[in-house]
Structures are given as C-alpha cells and as structure tokens.
Structure 1
C-alpha cells in the first residue's frame, strides 16, 4: 500500500470513528433531554390530579365517598383533556372511573409510575400514608408522546444526514490533503527514477520548508554531486588517455624505428623509451595514491616527528636546485624545537616536495622563495610563497583538480603530470589538515598548509 493510501485510510478511519461518536453522543443526549422533558410533563399532570384528590380525601374525613362527582367536575373543567381516569383505594379496588383505563379500552392494574402512550400513574399519599393510586390518560400527554416520537425521528434523521454529509466532506478533504501532503515525495520518487535512468541533471522543485523540503534539497544536492562526479569521471578518463597518449606514442615510434633497423638498439636509443616508462610508472603511482586518498583508504604509517626539523630537511634537499636556477630561498622557523606533529613522514614530505617543486618550477631566475613555519592556534602553519607569475583568479578554484594546469601551453616535460597539487591536498586532508592558496598575477603565489600540532606550546623565534 502506498503512503498516500495509508494516509487516506488513517484519515478515513478517524472520520468514521469521529462521526459515529458524534452521532451517538448527540442523538443520545437530544433523545434523553426530550424524554426527560416529556416525562416531567406527564408526571406534572398526574401529580396535579393527585394533589386534588389528596385534598379531597383529607377534606372528606379521610374517605373516598362521593369522589365520583368531584372527579367529573375536575374532568369537565379540563375541557375534555382527560379521556380516562381510574382511582384505586389503598387495597387496589376501583373507587371511581371516567372513560376507559387506557388507549386500548381495557383496565390496567396500577404500577410504579408507569407510562404508556399518555397513560400515567401516581400514588396518593396523605400524612405519609398511601391511600390510593391514580391512573390517568390525558389527551395532552398522548399528544406530547406523539410529538416526542416525531421530534426524535426528525432529530435522528437530521443527525444521520448531518453526520453523513460531514463525513463525506471530511473524506473528500482528506483525499485532497493526502494527495497534497505526499505530492513532494512523488516528485522525489520520479526524480530518483530519472536518475536511475541516467538523467543526472534531474532537479526536484519543492518549495515547502518541512521535512519534504529537506528531502528535496538533499536530493538536489545528491543529484548535483552525482553530476559533478560523473563529469569528473569523464574528464578523468579523457585526461588519463591524453596523458598516456604522448609517452605511448614516443615509445611506439622508437620501437618501430628499432624494428625497421633505422635505429640501433643501443642504450642511447633505448634511453627515451626508458624515460617514458618512468613517466608512465610515476603517473600510475600518483593516480593510485590519489584514488586511495579520495576514498579514505590511503595507508598512513603515522609517527611523531619534530616539525621544524622535518621542514628544514625538506628545504635543504632543494638547496642545489635553488642555486642552479639562481633563486634565493629563506627558511623562517618560529616554532619551538620540541613542537611535534603525528604524521606519516613520507606522505607529508611528498606534500612539501610537491609544493616546493611547484614554486621552483614557476619562479624565474633571480626570484625568491620564502618558507615560513609558525603556529596558529593548535595548528602547525607552513607557508610557501614564491615570486613567480602568479595564478589568475578563475584558475584558483580548480588549482587542486587532478590534471589541471593553469598554464595550458605548458609541456608535460616541464609541467609534470598535473597531479602534484591534487595529491598534496588529499594527503593534507588525510592528516586532518587543510591547504589553501592565494595568488596575485605578476607578484607570485602562496600556499599555506595547516596540520594539527601535538602540543600548543608557543615557539621561540628561530631563524635561519
């Protein structure tokens, strides 16, 4: 059963229960109220006659002698309202009678205040002693009984009709409401089916601010991420194919020349092939590490290292490259010697090697590179700033994408595989850190890495 049907069934059940309860309570209350009124009218009429007869009994010396003429006079004064009347003495013997005892013309023995179609009974009590019983059939009471029956039938019909109309209207409103309340989910389901069919540009339009709106927003976010993931996958395939095409073409051409005998199979001829094999091997390794990092499966062998010593050693390894290119490098260490970080030394070393190599590649001769090691709150802060050409603002948002190159004219020989910054970002985030970049065209670029420190001791200034 669909949610819409379940919701409507629940509302229909509630409507039926409410209608039955309303009908039962309202009809029962109205019937009881009218019956109480009719009963009070009957008893009031009988008690009036009984009070007359009690007065007569006392005034007549506690005797019913001559009560017939008294009753006839009273009956004549009521303009014929009384169709029958029987007076019983204390022993149950008939003392006086007018007409027949009941509507069927037969005598009815006195009972405990019983009523039937206008026939009412009342005891006659004088000085606390029962001296007789009165049984009276009043045409006004009979008419009241007929009115009672008519009113109760009318009330029953009105209550049933009102309950049915109200219930039907409530069911119609419930059907509309269940359709309205579940329509956003129907749109989400349709969107899921379109995505399952391959339409990743599907969007769900839900303007409500309730849980359905949150589901729709989550669905749209999921669709956007799926679309971006699919686009990234397609770009990745295209980029990998592009990266592999060049070395494979070189290797194929060299091997064909060797096979045709145009080139001898000597080390000088095989060296370009070996270089392309190294390039392919490095590309495959980088892609493998990057893929592991993106899915959180990167193997990290963490150990505690002194942050300042680690960064100083990495910078020292580039000293010869800086001298060969005529670039000056300043290393400023503002953290205490005992400041440590718990990291995988090989992965973190690769991060800063990639960043320093990138700065070295783009800093012209005569330029400078500044490496600053400092503390910021509970984090180790490492800043690598160069005086290269800088990166345009529209490229900064994609600088950490795999295979992305801000300079599209740059060759693979001078520009690498285009995976270095992507790997650096994933490795830093795998250590619960973050990496940022800022750049000004014509002035240079600065990369900033933050990694949690093992302690928050503030550094004493150490400069090198």
Structure 2
C-alpha cells in the first residue's frame, strides 16, 4: 500500500507525541509513590531535627538525659513543639508488629530516642524492628558542643501504601488521564494543521511538475515564508523561466536555420530547374553560381556543426599550456595574403617575441582567433586597419581586436553574440557569413572561464575584447 508523504509525516508527528505522553504517564506512575513518600519522609526528618533542638535544652553535662528519662512530660513537650499530640499515657500504643505492618501510623508512634550509650529513652525499640526492604530508619543526631549526645530514629516506609494513599494516587492518575486525552486530541489536530501547512509547497511543486509535463511553461508557484521549501519554490520558478526561454530560443533557432537553409536551396533549385527546362544552358558561369551556393551551404552546415561542438564543450579541454602569442602570430600569418588582397594592414600592439602562456585548449583557441580574423576580413572595408593588442595581467591575458570602418550600430552590439544574427543580412550573405561565428567564439571563451565583449572601436569599426584566465580550475 502506498502511503503519501502527508500520511507519513502525520503518523510520525502523532506517534512521537503519543509516545511522549505515554512515557510521561509511565514515569509518573513509577515515580509518584516514591516521590511523594520521599517528600513526606523529608518533612518528618525536618520535624525530628526540631525535636532534637528542643531536647538538647534538657541535657545536663553532669546528669546527662536523666530529666528526660525520669519525666515523660519532657518527651511529650518535645512532640508538642512540632504540633503533634501524644495520646494519654493510659492509651494503648501500637505494638512493634502493628507499627511495622500498619498502612498508616502517627508520626509520634514512629519516633525513637536513644542516648549516646545506646539506651532507649523514649519511643519504640529500634532493635525490635526487622531488616526489610520497604522500611527505613534514618537517624538524626542530637548535638551539644560539637558532640553527639543522643540520636532520634524515625521508622519510615519507602513508598506510599494504604487505602488513603491509593485513593490519592488514583485521583491524581484520573486527572492525568483526562489531561492525556485532551493533549492527544490537541496533538492530533495540531499535527493535522502543521503537516498540511508544511506540505503545501510540496503539493504546489507536484502540481507544477504536472503542469510542466503537460507543456504549461507559464505556471508559477507563489512561495510562502523564507525557508528551504520557499527556496525550492523559487528554484522551480527559475527552472520554469529557463525552460520557457530555452523553448523560445529553440523555436527561434529552428526557424532561423530553416530560413538560412531555404535561401541557398531555393537558389539552387531555381537554377537547376532553369537548366533542366532549357531556359539556361549548363554554361561555366551558371555552374560556378551553383558551386558558390553549395559552398555557402557547406559553410553553414560546418558552422552549425562547430557551434554544436562548442555548445556541448566535449572537444574543449583547457588543460594544456599554450602560447597565446604564438597562436595569434600563426593565424595572422595565415590571413596575411587575404588581408593584403583587400589592402588591410595588421597592426600588432605587442612584441612578437613575448611568450604569453595560459592553460587552454590549443585547437579551440586557434579557432577563436581564426573566427575573429575572419570577421574582420569580411566586414572591414578595403584600405582599412586591424589592430591586435595583447595585454599581460597577473591572473589574465587580454586579447583586443580593433578594426576600421564600417562600425556596428549601438543597438546591434548586444545582439552580436546571438545565433544567426547579422547586422546586414544581405551584405553578410554576400561575404559568406552565417551569423554563427561570434556565437562560436562566445562558447569557446565561456568554456575557458573567460569573458568576451564587443563595443564600437576608436578606429571606426568594431572592438572585440577577450579576457582569459591563465589558470583554469
């Protein structure tokens, strides 16, 4: 049988409360008799001490306890001093047997007074009392001038007995059972309310999960309080927002890819159909146009593939020690001829022999620099300038690339790293751009725990700044 979390917590709270109450009742049941008797016994010891203080006035250094021994009035007066009353001398006192077995007996009947020599001066005979586990005989010394001159004994029992004591105990237990019953009902109600209250966020999360499974990404949970469950509710809302954003991005991504693929495919189809219908002859210029469209498609597919690799980060392992200077120099050398064809100068703002090293993935870092050079080559006007700067900081290396006109509008700069975004789509297609290069660069930089930003350059074009940590943990 499946038990819900509500049932489990409710049962735990209820059982723990009931066990606590039952434990208290058992402890009371066990300790009540002894505890009450101990209280009574201690009270009697205090009375005996008062009697000892009274009797010491009748002790004589020369005659000892002769006055007490010869005159029973003194003992009677000592009992009277604590508010007790001895019966008349002719009244029958309890025998030793009756004293031991009686369920209740007066305090004075259980007192015994002995001198320092062990002679019984008043009360019962201590030596006549048998050794029993249910009996106590505490002794109270009678002191004068720091010497013990006598002893008072009290015959007591360890636990309450007798109808009176049992009646009192039963009355107390009845009261406790009533309290126990009321407490159990209160605990039941309190546990019910608290469990429902504390599990409400979990119920909301369960409902929210079902809504997400059904595709409702607009569902939100309204957190209550400031505890871990509230944090969990906030995390759920953030997750829902992230899923919604991912869905929108994915839908836009698929739409953009479809659009990017549709254009070259439409051109290829129309030109091939024109050749098939005899409208055009398969001349070299038409075949060359088809070849360019195929190359554009191949470049787009390759960029998509590279973007997927950098998204996953599978092939990016920033664990090797590489020289950023050498990578920049190598890529610059590869692009030198193409830059020369457009008469674009490469200005180095660093010393070529300065070896700047960092922990990185050599392959992906080379691709990053290559993409930046490619962008500058494509989108910088002829007779322009590309300025490359390397800055060495204690914990970071900074690569800055500034190119000349044309620039990028301010409203477009934040979107440069969006996938398939191009400032001028027609001009980008003419230059072979897919709009994925900057997204790939951002993925590579993020995989190296770095930061990449774009801004307008003082040279009139675009400024791209990359900050890479020297060590990747």
In structure 1, the residue matched to 2:101 is 114
1:361 is aligned to 2:363 = no
1:266-285 alignment runs, 5 A limit:
266-285=283-302
Query: 2:402 touches 2:457 (CA, 8 Å); kept in 1?
Result: no
TM-score normalised by length of structure 2:
0.70
Q: CA 1:390 to 1:164, structure 2 compared with 1: closer, same or farther past 3 Å?
A: farther
Q: CA 1:327 to 1:32, structure 2 compared with 1: closer, same or farther past 3 Å?
A: same
In structure 2, the residue matched to 1:25 is 27
What's the secondary structure of 1:113's corresponding residue? helix
For 2:257 and 2:312, how far apart are their aligned partners in 1? 19
What's the secondary structure of 2:100's corresponding residue? coil
Query: 1:38 touches 1:145 (CA, 8 Å); kept in 2?
Result: no
What's the secondary structure of 2:17's corresponding residue? helix
The offset of 1:86, in angstroms, is: 8.1
For 2:235 and 2:398, how far apart are their aligned partners in 1? 35
For 1:75 and 1:449, how far apart are their aligned partners in 2? 110
Q: CA 1:440 to 1:332, structure 2 compared with 1: closer, same or farther past 3 Å?
A: closer
1:246-261 alignment runs, 5 A limit:
246-261=263-278
How many positions carry a matched residue from both structures? 398
In structure 2, the residue matched to 1:95 is none
For 1:320 and 1:40, how far apart are their aligned partners in 2? 111
Per-residue deviation, residues 308-367 of structure 1 (Å, max 9, x unmatched):
343233234444444444544311214743434565555433322322232333334454
In structure 2, the residue matched to 1:414 is 431
In structure 2, the residue matched to 1:97 is none
What's the secondary structure of 2:431's corresponding residue? helix
What's the secondary structure of 2:217's corresponding residue? coil
Query: 2:316 touches 2:361 (CA, 8 Å); kept in 1?
Result: no
The offset of 1:253, in angstroms, is: 0.7
For 2:233 and 2:247, how far apart are their aligned partners in 1? 21
For 2:110 and 2:170, how far apart are their aligned partners in 1? 29
In structure 1, the residue matched to 2:194 is 177
Q: CA 1:116 to 1:322, structure 2 compared with 1: closer, same or farther past 3 Å?
A: closer
In structure 1, the residue matched to 2:456 is 439
For 2:287 and 2:437, how far apart are their aligned partners in 1? 28
In structure 1, the residue matched to 2:155 is none
Q: Which sections of structure 2, spanning at least 5 residues, go unmatched?
A: 48-68, 73-85, 129-160
In structure 1, the residue matched to 2:4 is 2
In structure 2, the residue matched to 1:107 is none
Q: 1:11 aligns with which of 10, 13, 17?
A: 13
Mean CA deviation greater in 178-187 or 33-42 = 33-42
Q: Which sections of structure 1, spanning at least 5 residues, go unmatched?
A: 45-56, 61-73, 91-109, 134-143, 455-464
What's the secondary structure of 2:222's corresponding residue? coil
For 1:125 and 1:363, how far apart are their aligned partners in 2? 122
Query: 1:4 touches 1:182 (CA, 8 Å); kept in 2?
Result: yes
What's the secondary structure of 1:405's corresponding residue? coil
In structure 2, the residue matched to 1:402 is 419
Q: CA 1:443 to 1:337, structure 2 compared with 1: closer, same or farther past 3 Å?
A: closer
For 1:284 and 1:193, how far apart are their aligned partners in 2? 38
What's the secondary structure of 1:397's corresponding residue? helix
For 2:329 and 2:127, how far apart are their aligned partners in 1? 127
Q: CA 1:441 to 1:199, structure 2 compared with 1: closer, same or farther past 3 Å?
A: farther
The offset of 1:32, in angstroms, is: 4.7
Query: 1:437 touches 1:447 (CA, 8 Å); kept in 2?
Result: yes
Q: CA 1:356 to 1:40, structure 2 compared with 1: closer, same or farther past 3 Å?
A: closer
Q: CA 1:367 to 1:38, structure 2 compared with 1: closer, same or farther past 3 Å?
A: closer
In structure 2, the residue matched to 1:230 is 247
1:29-178 alignment runs, 5 A limit:
29-32=31-34, 110-111=97-98, 113-116=100-103, 128=120, 148-178=165-195
In structure 1, the residue matched to 2:309 is 292
The offset of 1:212, in angstroms, is: 1.7
What's the secondary structure of 2:397's corresponding residue? strand
For 2:436 and 2:40, how far apart are their aligned partners in 1? 98
What's the secondary structure of 1:444's corresponding residue? strand
Mean CA deviation greater in 374-383 or 24-33 = 24-33
Query: 1:391 touches 1:439 (CA, 8 Å); kept in 2?
Result: yes
Query: 2:326 touches 2:355 (CA, 8 Å); kept in 1?
Result: no
CA RMSD of superposed structures (Å): 4.2
1:428 is aligned to 2:445 = yes
1:331 is aligned to 2:348 = yes
The offset of 1:148, in angstroms, is: 4.5
For 1:236 and 1:222, how far apart are their aligned partners in 2? 20
